[in-house]
């Protein structure tokens, strides 16, 4: 009943960056008003202007959320079961990060699509610092307008792009929609797969998410279909407010292939400090799922004040033979990151991959890594983790490789490299390796290095300034992982690294 306290058993957290608060305007005030009135009707909100559920967590809150979404009875029961279990658990503290105690009764668990003051009329009204960041990341003007919620045609553009996008997917039989929509339109699929990879009782934050999840993405790729395009949260319809407890479910049927991109490189601000998302992936026979994340949530300021707590549970199940699940992540944001995207290799000859770049600067903390659980025969997994620490940041790689008795002839290769910039930061590595049969092979390589003065001087002697040189050396360090990113992300990721490390040298 208690929380699983052992690090080897836990899998945790991070909220997929979804859309920013950009386009809630478009929905019109009508809907918002309706929302508010309904809030009032349920008696949770006393003030007509308020769009947020009062703080606190109890069964009524869970019922309220479920009712808000017109969910079927079974889903409400599922949430309530998760909630009841959550109440018996205690917050885990085995991770190598520190933060003040979170008061779970001091959080509001529902917020309607809220209007954040009048929309800016043009980019000129946007905070110059934010614009500067956009420019450095090479984000187009139209995109900048969209992200900043500028009320212009750009939003119309993105809707029309999204519509074209949806038609094309529908022709291929791919379902790509918000989680709430999937509950309405494909309840049987949701019911069949929800919680089969990350059960509600899996860990403290997964239980919390299961009880109060707001929204997220749903993807279903039918048998034999190769999804005709990369699926990006960027183009997801109804993406407005997914909130702090995001829930994502991706199913690839036999022989299906899909690549999913989550997040974007633009800085993501959010008022909610705690984010606890759950992502579940299911790959049947010969299916292939590639999940790429760029996470750039607000990391707090230079003094470590503020910033997002990013506590995510991400796990994929290679349920079918010869299936493959690949996680690629670039993590630069959040005050605290705590996530272990994992793969359960159940089908014979299935393949799991984890490619990660994590950057921590100033006072950021990250405890991240992966778990590869080998169950099927001849399964193989690859882990490549690149951690970069600067300033006073502390970063931990925590990885588990488990070869079950049944996983004969299986292999794992782990490569875990840390790069330190400056002398006040730290890198820590905790590999857990468990092998229960005698025909499997596990390899673990680890290194820790510093950007050397020699490297910097060499680049500067060739005419590059210190920042360009650092950025080049760091990107070189990350190359194995960047090579795995879809094209769209790869170029942006390099720019992001540069911005993230700005000012951390010299």
Partner 1 sequence: MLRIEDLRATIDGREILQGLDLEINAGEVHAIMGPNGAGKSTLSSVLTGRDGYDISGKVTFEDEDLLEMAPEERAAKGIFLAFQYPVEIPGVGNMYFLRTAVNAVRRERGEPEVDAVTFLGSVKQHMAELDMDPGMLSRSVNDGFSGGEKKRNEVLQMAMLQPKLAILDETDSGLDIDALRLVAGGIQRLRSPERSMLIITHYPRLLEYVVPDYVHVLSQGRIIRTGDASLAYELEEEGYRGTEASLSGTGGGASK
Enumerate binding residues for partner 1 (CB under 8 A): 452-455, 457-466, 468, 472-473, 475-480
In the complex, what is the shortest distance from the CB of residue 263 to partner 1, in angstroms, rounded to a whole number?
23
Question: Between 74 and 457, whose beta carbon lies closer to partner 1?
Answer: 457
- Encode 331-361: b = buried (16+ Cβ within 10 Å), e = exposed: bbbbbbbbbbbbbbbbbbbbbbbbbbbbbbb
Neighbours of 259 (CB within 10 A): 18
CB 252 within 8 A of CB 290: no
Which residues share a beta bridge with 351? 324, 380
Question: Between 443 and 466, whose beta carbon lies closer to partner 1?
Answer: 466
Cα separation values, 9 from 3, 230, 272, 278, Å? 10, 32, 27, 16
For residues 85 and 200, what is the distance between their CA atoms, to the nearest angstrom?
8
Question: Between 127 and 468, whose beta carbon lies closer to partner 1?
Answer: 468
Cα separation values, 313 from 17, 182, 472, 478, 481, Å? 14, 21, 32, 24, 21
Question: Between 182 and 478, whose beta carbon lies closer to partner 1?
Answer: 478
In the complex, what is the shortest distance from the CB of residue 468 to partner 1, in angstroms, rounded to a whole number?
7
In the complex, what is the shortest distance from the CB of residue 380 to partner 1, in angstroms, rounded to a whole number?
24
In the complex, what is the shortest distance from the CB of residue 385 to partner 1, in angstroms, rounded to a whole number?
15
Residue 193: in which H helix or E strand, if any?
helix 187-193
Output the furthest CA–CA distance in the chain (Å, rounded).
Answer: 70
Contacting residues for 100 by C-beta, under 8 A, at least 6 apart: none
Question: Between 90 and 461, whose beta carbon lies closer to partner 1?
Answer: 461
Question: Between 198 and 419, whose beta carbon lies closer to partner 1?
Answer: 419
Helix crossing, 59-68 with 29-42: angle to 10°? 150
Q: Where do runs of H (alpha helix) occur along 434-465?
A: 453-461
In the complex, what is the shortest distance from the CB of residue 415 to partner 1, in angstroms, rounded to a whole number?
12
In the complex, what is the shortest distance from the CB of residue 114 to partner 1, in angstroms, rounded to a whole number?
44
In the complex, what is the shortest distance from the CB of residue 454 to partner 1, in angstroms, rounded to a whole number?
5
CB 283 within 8 A of CB 252: yes
Cα separation values, 291 from 124, 454, 498, Å? 36, 37, 23
For residues 364 and 335, what is the distance between their CA atoms, to the nearest angstrom?
5
In the complex, what is the shortest distance from the CB of residue 384 to partner 1, in angstroms, rounded to a whole number?
12
Which residues share a beta bridge with 416? 385, 446
Question: Between 237 and 456, whose beta carbon lies closer to partner 1?
Answer: 456
| N residues, the chain | 506
Angle at 19 between CA 14 and CA 23, to 5 degrees: 150
In the complex, what is the shortest distance from the CB of residue 475 to partner 1, in angstroms, rounded to a whole number?
7
Question: Between 97 and 357, whose beta carbon lies closer to partner 1?
Answer: 357
Which of 397, 398, 484 is CA-nearest to residue 448? Answer: 397
In the complex, what is the shortest distance from the CB of residue 285 to partner 1, in angstroms, rounded to a whole number?
36
Contacting residues for 490 by C-beta, under 8 A, at least 6 apart: 482, 483
Q: Tokens representing 37?
A: 């009135």
Which of 272, 227, 313 is CA-nearest to residue 104? Answer: 272
- DSSP strand pairing (309-318 vs 342-345): parallel
Residue position matching structure tokens 């940041």 = 393
Question: Between 43 and 463, whose beta carbon lies closer to partner 1?
Answer: 463
In the complex, what is the shortest distance from the CB of residue 369 to partner 1, in angstroms, rounded to a whole number?
21
In the complex, what is the shortest distance from the CB of residue 472 to partner 1, in angstroms, rounded to a whole number?
6
3-state secondary structure at position 44: coil
Question: Between 378 and 385, whose beta carbon lies closer to partner 1?
Answer: 385
Question: Between 105 and 461, whose beta carbon lies closer to partner 1?
Answer: 461
Question: Between 386 and 402, whose beta carbon lies closer to partner 1?
Answer: 386
What's the gap between Cα 341 and its chain centre?
9
In the complex, what is the shortest distance from the CB of residue 466 to partner 1, in angstroms, rounded to a whole number?
8
Question: Between 179 and 482, whose beta carbon lies closer to partner 1?
Answer: 482
CB 276 within 8 A of CB 15: yes
């Amino acid at each position: 009943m208690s929380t699983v306290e052992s690090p080897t058993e836990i899998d945790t957290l991070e909220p997929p960056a979804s859309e920013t608060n950009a386009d809630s305007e478009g929905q019109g005030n009508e809907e918002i008003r309706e929302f508010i009135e309904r809030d009032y009707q349920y008696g949770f909100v006393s003030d007509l202007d308020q769009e947020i559920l009062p703080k606190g967590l109890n069964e009524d809150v869970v019922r309220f959320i479920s009712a808000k979404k017109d969910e079927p009875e079974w889903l409400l029961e599922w949430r309530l079961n998760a909630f009841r279990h959550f109440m018996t658990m205690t917050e885990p503290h085995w991770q190598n990060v520190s933060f003040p105690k979170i008061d779970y009764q001091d959080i509001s668990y529902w917020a309607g699509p809220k209007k954040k003051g009048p929309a800016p009329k043009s980019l000129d009204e946007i905070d110059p610092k934010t614009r500067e960041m956009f420019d450095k990341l090479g984000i187009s003007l139209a995109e900048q307008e969209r992200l900043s919620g500028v009320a212009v045609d750009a939003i119309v553009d993105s809707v029309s792009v999204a519509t074209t996008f949806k038609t094309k997917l529908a022709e291929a039989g791919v379902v790509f929609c918000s989680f709430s929509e999937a509950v309405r339109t494909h309840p049987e699929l949701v019911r069949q797969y929800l919680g089969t990879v990350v059960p509600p009782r899996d860990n403290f934050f997964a239980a919390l998410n299961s009880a109060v999840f707001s929204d997220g993405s749903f993807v279903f790729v039918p048998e034999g279909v190769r999804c005709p395009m990369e699926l990006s949260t960027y183009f997801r319809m109804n993406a407005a407010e997914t909130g702090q407890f995001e829930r994502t479910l991706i199913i690839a049927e036999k022989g299906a292939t899909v690549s999913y991109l989550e997040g974007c490189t633009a800085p993501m601000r959010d008022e909610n400090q705690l984010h606890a998302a759950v992502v579940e992936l299911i790959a049947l026979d010969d299916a292939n799922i590639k999940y790429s994340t760029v996470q750039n949530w607000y990391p707090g300021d230079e003094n470590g004040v503020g910033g997002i707590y990013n506590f995510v549970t991400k796990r994929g199940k290679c349920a079918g033979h010869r299936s493959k699940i690949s996680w690629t992540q670039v993590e630069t944001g959040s005050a605290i990151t705590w996530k272990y995207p994992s793969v359960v290799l159940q089908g014979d000859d299935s393949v799991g991959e984890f490619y990660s770049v994590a950057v921590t600067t100033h006072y950021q903390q990250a405890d991240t890594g992966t778990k590869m659980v080998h169950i099927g025969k001849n399964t193989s997994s690859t882990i490549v983790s690149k951690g970069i620490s600067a300033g006073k940041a502390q970063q931990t790689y925590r990885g588990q490789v488990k070869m079950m008795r049944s996983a004969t002839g299986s292999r794992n290769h782990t490569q875990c490299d840390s790069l330190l910039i400056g002398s006040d930061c730290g890198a820590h590595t905790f590999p857990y390796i468990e092998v229960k049969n005698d025909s499997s092979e596990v390899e673990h390589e680890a290194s820790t290095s510093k950007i050397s003065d020699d490297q910097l001087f060499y680049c500067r002697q060739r005419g590059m300034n210190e920042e360009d040189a650092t950025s080049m050396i760091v990107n070189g360090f990350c190359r194995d992982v960047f090579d795995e990113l879809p094209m769209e992300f790869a170029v942006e990721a390099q720019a992001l690294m540069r911005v993230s490390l700005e000012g951390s040298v010299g």
